[in-house]
Amino acid sequence: MLLVNRYRPMMLILSIMAIASLLVTSPAFSASEKKPFKIGGIFAVTGPASFLGDPEKKSMELVVEQINAAGGIDGHMLEAVIYDTEGDPSKAVMGVSKLINKDNVIAIIGPSRTPTTLAVMPMIQKAKIPFISCAAGNKIVAPIDPWVFKTAQSDILAVAAIYENLKAKNTKKIGIISVGNAFGESGKEQLIAQAAGSGLAVTKSETYGAKDTDMTAQLTKIRQDNPEAIVCWGTNPGPAVLAKNIQQLGLDIPLYQSHGVASPKFIELAGSAAEGIMLPTGKILVAGLLPDSDPQKEVLNVYISEYEKKYATSVSGFGGYAYDAVKILAAALKNSNGDKEKIREAIENTKNHVGVSGIFNFSKTDHNGLSPEAFVMVKIKDGTWELLK
């Protein structure tokens, strides 16, 4: 008796623990009657491109959590395995190889950057696994690979949006200045390639270094031909330096920027020099300004409020790429039973999917699925955005 008494507290604790563990594990047991769908994510969560990868990872986790809370897909829970590329192609290759060989995922979302995406594409082709990239570069979907899709708007559409605006103003001569990296080069290529079709002549095409402190020399050169507009292609902070230099030189030439600077940060950096600058942007930046008739307005508002509620930080324009990708994948997973070929086909046949970055209409010949309407043109006025019609 004494013995039992002495051990009673111990027994009590043990039995409580046993019951508790049963309680905790039991829902998992009942759900895992069906094997969870494992999907891979690979983003530049840290490193110089973390402004892309961090919101992408968060958005992916957000959607996965929501889908699981709603009971999963056909009773299968989603399980996301996410690795960090640090924006480095060799780390991206290692991560994707782990996702395919070790984690046995059935689809992969990411990477965030064009160079990392291009680096992993050969493995995707070999493994035959559905893959939705969050990078912007057009090379990802041209030429088309059956397994590779992407959700980010490509610069082709951004250039088209700018040129439409220039054409409406009857502009004939433009000068281009672009940053000397992959983003700037790709933009420059598109700007020059599409110019003739819009009746524009590119008089000068200059470049600058991503860390340059002064661009008055390039502007002096562009000024020689009296262009009617200047188009700058770069990401912060270079374009802000350029805007300041234009103001300081007293150049009275309208300035167009790329979607690469479409964030409040640009207005903060350029200050008063930002006034009057026009640029194309995904609709997320101006969700509040959109008319109620806009088909994306509801999706945008839902995404923004969910994201800001969960993470208590303001939403960025980039997380939407992963949000759209997971949503499209989730729709394709329905009735697929995890069969990769079925998932691929379902993604390719996705029509009228209203997403954060635009309305997706994939087809055999279009694996980005967006039209120029994915972009709206905005003008910076009084330190904030104004929709251009």
Partner 1 sequence: MELIPWPELHAMDQSIMQEILQYLFSGITNGAIYAVIAIGFSMLYNSTDLINFAHGEFVMLGSLCMVTFFGSMHLPLVPAIILTIICVAIAGLVFERLAIRSVKHPEPIVLIIITVGASIFLRGLGMIIWGKDAYSIPSFSSHPPLDIAGAKLLSQSIWIIVIFLVASVGLQLFYKKTLTGKAMEANAISKRAAWIVGIPSKLMVMLAFGLSTAMGGLAGVIIAPITMSSYDMGTMLGLKGFCAAMLGGLGSLWGALIGGFLLGILEALGVGFVSSGLKDATAFVLLLFILYVRPGGIISSADANRF
Is 213 an interacting residue with respect to partner 1 (CB under 8 A)? yes
Q: Which part of the chain contacts partner 1 (CB under 8 A), choosing from 14-22, 265-273, 289-297, 326-334?
A: 265-273
Task: Tell whether residue 181 is a contact of partner 1 (CB under 8 A).
Answer: no
Q: Which is nearer to partner 1, 241 or 328 (CB)?
A: 241
Using the rule CB under 8 A, is 244 a contact of partner 1? yes
Contact residue for partner 1 among 68, 181, 194, 236 (CB under 8 A): 236
Query: Could you say which of 42, 50, 117, 296 contacts partner 1 (CB under 8 A)?
Result: 50
Q: Does 25 bind partner 1 (CB under 8 A)?
A: no
The residue among 87, 56, 86 whose CA lies nearest residue 318 is 56
* 379 lies in the binding site for partner 1 (CB under 8 A): no
Pick the binder of partner 1 from 241, 255, 356, 377 (CB under 8 A). 241
Nearest-angstrom CA–CA distance, 220 and 224: 7
Nearer to partner 1, 138 or 236 (CB): 236
Residue number, 138 or 205, with CB nearest to partner 1: 205
Q: With binding defined as CB under 8 A, does residue 264 bind partner 1?
A: no
Closer to partner 1 by CB, 47 or 338: give it: 47
Strand pairing category for 78-84 and 375-381: unpaired
Among 199, 271, 295, 383, binds partner 1 (CB under 8 A): 271
Give the one residue of 52, 92, 270, 330 binding partner 1; rule: CB under 8 A.
270
Stretch that binds partner 1, among 46-54, 79-87, 127-135, 369-377 (CB under 8 A): 46-54
Instruction: State yes or no: residue 48 binds partner 1 (CB under 8 A).
Output: yes
Q: Which stretch binds partner 1 (CB under 8 A): 21-29, 132-140, 234-242, 298-306?
A: 234-242
Counting Cα atoms < 13 Å in the Cβ hemisphere of 154 gives 21
Residue 161 contacts partner 1 per CB under 8 A: no
Instruction: By CB under 8 A, name the one of 80, 82, 121, 269 that touches partner 1.
Output: 269
Q: Report the nearest approach of partner 1 to the CB of residue 219 (Å).
A: 9
Q: What is the 3-state secondary structure (H, E, C) of the chain?
A: CHHHHHHHHHHHHHHHHHHHHHHHHHHHHHHCCCCCEEEEEEECCCCCCHHHHHHHHHHHHHHHHHHHHCCCECCECEEEEEEECCCCHHHHHHHHHHHHHCCCCCEEECCCCHHHHHHHHHHHHHHCCCEEECCCCHHHCCCCCCCEEECCCCHHHHHHHHHHHHHHCCCCEEEEEEECCHHHHHHHHHHHHHHHHHCCEEEEEEEECCCCCCCHHHHHHHHCCCCCEEEEECCCCHHHHHHHHHHHHCCCCCEEECHHHCCHHHHHHHHHHHCCCEEEEEHHHHHHHCCCCCCCHHHHHHHHHHHHHHHCCCCCCCHHHHHHHHHHHHHHHCCCCCCHHHHHHHHHCCCCEECCCCEECCECCECCCCCHHHEEEEEEECCEEEECC
One residue of 37, 149, 208, 323 binding partner 1 per CB under 8 A: 208
Minimum distance from residue 44 beta carbon to partner 1 (Å)? 12
Interface with partner 1 (CB under 8 A), residue from 74, 268, 298, 386: 268
Binding site residues, partner 1, CB under 8 A: 48, 50-51, 177, 180, 206-209, 211-214, 216-218, 220-221, 224, 236-237, 240-241, 244, 248-250, 265, 268-271
